[in-house]
Amino acid sequence: MDLRKKLLIASSNPGKLREIHALLDDLGITLVTPDDLIISLEVEEDGATYAENASRKALAFARLSGLLTLADDSGLEVDALNGMPGLHSARFSPLPKATDADRRSYLLDKLKGRSQPWSARFRCTVALATPAGDVQLTEGVCRGEIIPTERGRAGFGYDPIFLIPELGKTMAELTMEEKNRLSHRSRAVQAARPLLVALLK
């Protein structure tokens, strides 16, 4: 594959970027970020689905940069909260400028008094967009449950309270290699790999 081929990852989230780099580094393409290209673009993520948000973001960055672009939207869906926070996972806390810790605390407050286990899933949709406006979508899901005490220092977001029962570990206790075998984002990105290879040929 042409080493000059570039893929723009439409994210400034350091944890997300590390995961995607680890998943795609072996493809022999150059992965770049908006910061690398000195691009500043705010895309309103107010769609009705993960796919709509991911597509909107990927298209906006692809058209501005002239590069094939990968964007994703993901969320945590908790059954005891009727699928919340879902699309609003990153904006779940009512606090202004809420941190990941604030959002985890707010979620656990919402679950107080509800019977356990608190079954949940992480869901992710990846969008690959070309500057011409073509979009292809893939999805990944990781099932587990929410626990009331944080465990682990790796990962980000809700990872420290998301337990994967078959491993007995939270997402924040996994190594990058372990996480990239089973996470929602890794499954969506892995499904996008053949599409990516075909688009860059």
Catalytic residues, by residue number, are: 73
With b for 16 or more beta-carbon neighbours within 10 A and e for fewer, the 151-160 pattern comes to eeebbebbbb
CA nearest neighbour of 186 among 34, 10, 11, 24: 24
Q: What is the amino acid identity at position 47?
A: G
| Angle between helix 184-200 and helix 14-24 axes, rounded to 10 deg | 50
Burial of 46 (0-12, 13-18, 19+ CB in 10 A): exposed
C-alpha span between 42 and 29 (Å, rounded): 26
